[in-house]
Structure 1
């Protein structure tokens, strides 16, 4: 391989536009589409006019052997391909800036239908300059009949500029020529990468790009695995749209790729993921989709997790999807072991510490053994949550212990504190709505008694409660509402179903410290029961 090169240069805007028009510069398909708003475009134009630096554009010149199978054009415009014998420069960083400059100043106004999903609305690039107001204006705000307004798209083409000048008041001619000159002569910094391996390109990008969504080697290498008839990110996006109906549409695309790899080759490690080919993914895609759906159905029916917001760790989807990919018939014993695995990992810090991919691969191996009715590896998973951890855990959906706690409570079919009816946990777990949960010791009551917020919002101080019943209890002390609101005849049954301490003296004495300690014991016992 030739000696690696990393060259820094600069290109005037018209030269940059010409290179795009000639088909020399493309967007890799693994890059997301154009996302800037019109105000961001105008801010960029203001920076150009004031000669402010706008940052560099990072291009990678790929050889014939390294060309990507799937690419897009700048902002989705219809731009010709150079052909097989020409090198292609892929934009690794600066897509939004380059697309904005090109789209506002070029005379290309036609987009390709094939990239419609990624195409921005062309109207946002129709920007004018008003010399009287000395301001850039969107088309909706510009008076196009005014003799002080020009369309920027016509400002750097000498022939079109002449036409624009004919419609301008003569007093603005000098300013128009100056504006044209500024755009023509502004030099955009360009960093050109040549003779680099694919892995090096990914690392370079990751280290240079410190803002926005970072691209890592895994994302970059995905581009090399696509076939002409299968676009992985499009397939993932379509699946996520479908999963949104099951409230699981926010699975991270990188995790989706690890699920795919886990199903096909039984590993989530990057070096193994890179062995995937587009053909293998395409040929297995139907099974992949069905397996992920089956894993979600398992979580919904067996664990009452009907929304990804309540899944303690998203990594749990990987081994579950692997299992359902390998068998369509899961026995009662296998389901029992899977449930124990789920609860043990949910109430642990397994995925909160390092070496996550190694642990996920170990989970896949565990599932492989479960498929062969070898359950011995279950002993490798243990609960690490203590009573102290539960007391100190703040009630927040961002905390995996909170999510696991709510799912655990849901298993016991909690009864409404105010009337003893079954709480619709499906509704409560369909979205994270604070109104569906209740402080057992009301927040305002504890505040009046000087209890700090961190202790008031302990996860152990919450239970399921519909909003109408919540209003009945409101800010009453436990000694008040347990004697006036909670049905006495089924009081013990209500407490048990909500994993609340059965000692009535705790509530009669409004003893919050004792409540937390005793409920911690109750919850730990419940965890022990589901983990086997």
Structure 2
């Protein structure tokens, strides 16, 4: 037995038969309701390849498993096109004249013009422009040739009248070749229903010449969009539209005009608030939205399981049952509605911002945000903790998982494990165990200090430090009136405490050394200019003397107490006033320890 053909079969279909199968519903194209991302020139090139008999790549079709219906009978699963949507959609718009949905969610038909007299040096196909209507040698829209009522005799007669120099035989031959596109063969790889998501993904990657990798969310969205029985297509739209509106609130006016059916659905009201929302802390894509909606309702972390459940998978019996598919669609619908709920979403974002993460640049991991929102929704609907405490616990978990990189490597497995433990122990017991395992005194005194030895400006440890300063409302270095929050939110920049040029002039030329995050701080622009290339023992002494009443222009601190307090909140050792380039490594070591202790204080304050 050949193991290859246990997993898939390879078949040749004509363009005509593929389009017929799609029209009849035998093959579903999930992406047909999503924006078409090909450029007009790509559509033209595909038609040209078909015309010349060049290969256009394989389609990949995955047949859904046979499902046991509630009455005990079986129904053969629908075939779903999981790779080739853009190619097939391009053919449908070019030769069938069907409109596509642009990236702006506006319907548009890409029309391809044809020059039947073109020689090898001329373009035979072009994206239609007004010039193709003026130049009579062009057929402005090839779709007319493929219409059932196309009369080639009348067409050729009119063409010759417009182009008297043309030979009827030549134009007839060109039209025959053009209409022959519908008989062109396209290879299709049919994957058997028994394959799991991992195998499907692996086959896809090995076949796809561009090396594109489908993810679990792609499969889940395909499964949802292909559903006609449980409202999958409308659910798919809700997810797409929410994600688009989160980034572009102005799209709401387009949506109102372009999709009346959706605007009458229950989903429209749930996401209408986004038209007035301009926040950018959490702009989910469809993968984030699916993941959170699934995780908090199913208490599972692997999106591959969602695909199986939406197919009706009975994990114990290893069968597929209609009632499981129906229940799964209902639960996912409820999860999406919870996700889109204005109160839930805004309260979650408020929790993250209130913890000090006020700007996207302070956020390192979308997966960590996804799990934090999942946790928010679990606690919101479980009743395990007082609602007034939910944001606090979400903040603590978000900071803990950011500091420990909990969802950076193999995130799905870790999320799945965490959800199961929360289900078994309850969240409070789970949190206590996680803190004991991950945030011991050794972590605060050694592990975190070591993690802060980095030159990465986007380091999660440095970002948590900045969030701590924002949460604790710290003044920026040497400033008596500008908070760290002001500089971060105003898109300010970090600057070197030991000035970069000063260090380079004194022999510290290794970029990884002078750019250590322990040498970074947010400085008000006027203070940064005043510091220039001065040694720390020079400009800190000037700032201290100025705070005690001397004339000066370094900072705006107005008392010795304010000077001491300002150094403390910025984790600057008090003896910096005596430091020069020779003390740089000692300064870094001391500041890392102070930063780690500040982060600990911050975490315990949440």
- Paired with 1:325 and 1:118, the residues of 2 have a C-alpha distance of 35
Q: Conserved in 2, the CA contact under 8 Å of 1:59 and 1:89?
A: yes
**1:265 corresponds to which residue?**
298
501, 512, 525: which is aligned to 2:597?
A: 525
| Alignment deviations for residues 196-229 of structure 1 (CA, whole Å, 9 cap, x no partner) | 2474684454654464764345643565566227
Matched, 1:311 2:363: yes
In structure 2, the CA distance between the partners of 1:523 and 1:187, relative to structure 1 (3 Å rule), is: same
Unaligned runs of 5+ in 1: 68-84
TM, length-normalised to structure 1: 0.78
Structure 2's unaligned 5+ residue stretches are 70-74, 247-273, 310-326, 543-552
Structure 2 partner of 1:131: 118
Q: Distance in 1 between matches of 2:423 and 2:359?
A: 23
1:193 has 2:190 as partner = yes
In 2 relative to 1, CA 429–213 (structure 1 residues): closer, same or farther, beyond 3 Å? farther
CA contact (8 A) 2:58 2:84 kept: yes
Alignment check: 8 A CA contact 2:12 2:187 kept = yes
Aligned mates of 1:23, 1:373 — CA distance in 2:
50
Say which SS state the counterpart of residue 463 (structure 1) adopts. strand
**What does 1:24-423 align with in structure 2 at a 5 Å threshold?**
24-28=26-30, 32-61=34-63, 65=67, 89-106=79-96, 108-109=97-98, 121-129=107-115, 131=118, 134-135=122-123, 136-140=125-129, 142-151=131-140, 152-155=142-145, 159=151, 162=156, 165-166=159-160, 167-168=162-163, 170-171=165-166, 174=170, 177-178=173-174, 180-181=176-177, 184=180, 187-193=184-190, 196-197=193-194, 199=196, 202-203=200-201, 204-205=203-204, 208-209=207-208, 211=210, 214-217=213-216, 219-221=218-220, 227-228=230-231, 231-240=234-243, 241-242=245-246, 245-270=278-303, 273=306, 274-275=308-309, 277-288=328-339, 289=341, 290-301=343-354, 303-313=355-365, 314-315=367-368, 316-317=371-372, 318-327=374-383, 330=386, 338-354=394-410, 356-359=412-415, 361-362=417-418, 365-366=421-422, 376-377=432-433, 378-382=435-439, 385-396=447-458, 399-417=459-477, 419-423=479-483
Question: 1:199 & 1:338 partners in 2: Cα distance?
Answer: 34
Which residue in 2 is equivalent to 1:500? 572
TM-score, scaled relative to structure 2:
0.69
1:460 aligns to 2:518 (yes or no)? yes
Q: Give distance in 2, aligned partners of 1:155 and 1:255.
A: 44
Q: Deviations over 1:261-280 (max 9, x none)?
A: 33223232347545461112
Identify the structure with the greater helix proportion: 2
Inter-CA distance 202–7: structure 2 relative to 1 (3 Å threshold): closer
Q: 1:485 aligns with which of 539, 554, 560?
A: 554
**Pairwise CA RMSD of aligned residues?**
4.2
Q: Is the 8 A contact 2:61 2:83 kept in 1?
A: yes
Question: 1:296 deviation in Å?
Answer: 2.1
* Aligned-residue offset at 1:96: 1.0
Q: Deviations over 1:63-100 (max 9, x none)?
A: 77499xxxxxxxxxxxxxxxxx9985432111111211
Paired with 2:415 and 2:77, the residues of 1 have a C-alpha distance of 41
Partner of 1:82: none
Q: Deviations over 1:410-448 (max 9, x none)?
A: 233232446421326166248xx4x43223233444444
Query: What is the rounded CA distance, in whole Å, between the counterparts of 2:431 and 2:192 in structure 1?
Result: 50
Q: Take 1:223 and 1:437, find their aligned partners in 2: how far apart are those partners?
A: 44
Flag the 1:110–1:340 CA change in 2: closer, same or farther, 3 A: closer
Provide the secondary structure at the position in 1 that maps to 2:151. Answer: helix
